[in-house]
Structure 1
Amino acid sequence: MRPRLPKLTRRPRPATRRRTRWLRRVVVAVVVVAVLLTGGTLASVHWIRGGADGHIFTERDVPEAPVALVLGTKVHPDGTPSPFLTGRLEIARRLLATGKVRAILLSGDNMNPDYDEPAAMRRWLVDNGVSATRVVLDPAGFDTYDSCARAKRVYGVERATVVTQSFHLPRAVTVCRRLGVDANGVGDETARRYDRTWRISSTREYGACVKATLDLISGRDPAHLGRRETGVQDALRDA
């Protein structure tokens, strides 16, 4: 009987070894990038939220301010505000009615002639008893940073109460404060009943905090700056 020879293990071919090394490097690079992105995101969120500490209040407790800055969001095709926007507008209406503010600056997107957030916001407020002379429109509030920057640089707002949903409020207050507006904030909770949309929007805040951090570090100009407007001062004089 012939003796059984031991099996020989084939050594990987050079091309296979190179491919294996390349894949390992790709995996390591992906892991490193993921760790850096995660760490950077968490750092941005912590910095943004920390900037709003001590400046978020209930409607009852918020200090008086000359202006309520209401940030825009979705308007339906028929021109009616979405529930999220309605929640913000209702808070602003009550702040004005109780004397917590004396004018309302509505900042939203009117980049497209067929989509006008500020006009829809004013229409809702006027329909609900607010004098049109107390309302000012900013049609170039394309994002939170632009709204805060324009409130300061275009409309001359020095002190304001920012109104938005509660998950968005820390970012909005911090951005405004970093851009020179002495801002406090009041957050809407009524839209929380739209659970799925609320959860999705809350999750998006992580990425939005990174963008806000980069915007503040770069000190970019708003997408549209334009000339100085006196609408807020006129509304305050009317008040």
Structure 2
Amino acid sequence: MFVSLGFGFLVILSLNVWILVSTSDQIFKEEILLSPQRVGLVLGTSRFTAQGEKNEFFEERMNAAAKLFELGIIDHILVSGDNRSIYYNEPRDMLNALLERGIAQSEVTLDYAGLRTLDSVVRCAQIFGQSSFIIITQEFHLHRALFIANYHGLNAYGFSPKSSKVSVPTKVRIREFIARVLAVLDLYVWNKKPEIMGKLKPI
């Protein structure tokens, strides 16, 4: 039993290393190093924590997207997130946050069907017509998003916002560790597709 558990952990660890190593050269932390792209894809997260406080990850993503737009590195912002409930709407929250930062509503497109990272990345290409774009989220999340983009033959780069005021919680690290393994299974075993597709809406 211990041998099986050890082998299983080794496989999980190896898949994580594969994703981290294969995408590390696509992640940038300095705006000046990025090649300008038409669209910046911002991956969704909750605006507030479970305790009702500001979610620093959300704030960082909004600040980063606004800055890339202001610098002319991206011409348009695609915010993609979960909208399964009338009480929880990530794209709307991201739009409101960008408006607060001086971004015009006409410069933002909302993707309400970004239920998972896979959905957001694939829909950016297949629904919104972008084969080359910048993904904006924290570094721990970027590796998985870029891995998905690479699998689908997309020319994607990642921009990681400046370090958070808070460290990445252990439970988030564990969740991402597992999510990377599931991403490999989604792509190479289960051939997962976005839950919701639809008509082409080029940006």
TM-score, L = length of structure 2? 0.90
What is aligned with 2:194? 222
Gapped regions of structure 1 (runs ≥ 5): 1-28, 233-239
Cα RMSD over matched residues? 1.9
Moved more, 115-124 or 210-219: 210-219
Change (3 A) 1:62 1:81: farther
Q: Does 1:201 align with 2:172?
A: yes
Paired residue secondary structure (1:53):
helix
What is aligned with 2:141? 168
Aligned residues of 2:47 and 2:59 also touching (Cα < 8 A) = no
Q: How far apart, CA to CA, are the structure 2 residues paired with 1:67 and 1:109?
A: 20
Provide Cα deviations, 1:100-157, integer angstroms capped at 9, x if missing partner: 1101110100011211000110111012110111101111111111111111111111
Q: How far apart, CA to CA, are the structure 1 residues paired with 2:53 and 2:148?
A: 28
Aligned residue type for 1:68: G
Q: How far apart, CA to CA, are the structure 1 residues paired with 2:84 and 2:132?
A: 27
Provide Cα deviations, 1:191-221, integer angstroms capped at 9, x if missing partner: 2x223x5333223221011011111113211
Size of the alignment, in residue pairs? 199
Aligned residues of 1:148 and 1:179 also touching (Cα < 8 A) = no
Provide Cα deviations, 1:20-40, integer angstroms capped at 9, x if missing partner: xxxxxxxxx3x2331232122
Cα displacement (A) at 1:167: 1.5
Larger Rg: 1
Moved more, 104-113 or 199-208: 199-208
Aligned residues of 1:109 and 1:139 also touching (Cα < 8 A) = yes
Paired residue secondary structure (1:106):
strand
What is aligned with 1:190? 163
What is aligned with 1:34? 5
Q: How far apart, CA to CA, are the structure 1 residues paired with 2:106 and 2:131?
A: 20
Aligned residues of 2:27 and 2:139 also touching (Cα < 8 A) = no
What is aligned with 1:145? 118
Q: How far apart, CA to CA, are the structure 2 residues paired with 1:98 and 1:167?
A: 24
Aligned residues of 2:135 and 2:157 also touching (Cα < 8 A) = yes
Gapped regions of structure 2 (runs ≥ 5): none
Q: How far apart, CA to CA, are the structure 2 residues paired with 1:111 and 1:33?
A: 39
Paired residue secondary structure (1:137):
strand
TM-score, L = length of structure 1? 0.77
What is aligned with 2:72? 99
Change (3 A) 1:67 1:80: farther
Cα displacement (A) at 1:81: 6.4
Provide Cα deviations, 1:151-192, integer angstroms capped at 9, x if missing partner: 11111111111110111111111212222321011112432x
Paired residue secondary structure (1:67):
strand
Aligned residues of 1:166 and 1:189 also touching (Cα < 8 A) = no
Aligned residue type for 2:146: V
Aligned residue type for 1:64: P
Paired residue secondary structure (2:37):
coil
Q: How far apart, CA to CA, are the structure 1 residues paired with 2:73 and 2:170?
A: 30
What is aligned with 1:88? 61
Q: What is the identity percentage for the equivalent residue pairs of Structure 1 and Structure 2?
A: 31
What is aligned with 1:23? none
Q: How far apart, CA to CA, are the structure 2 residues paired with 1:90 and 1:221?
A: 30
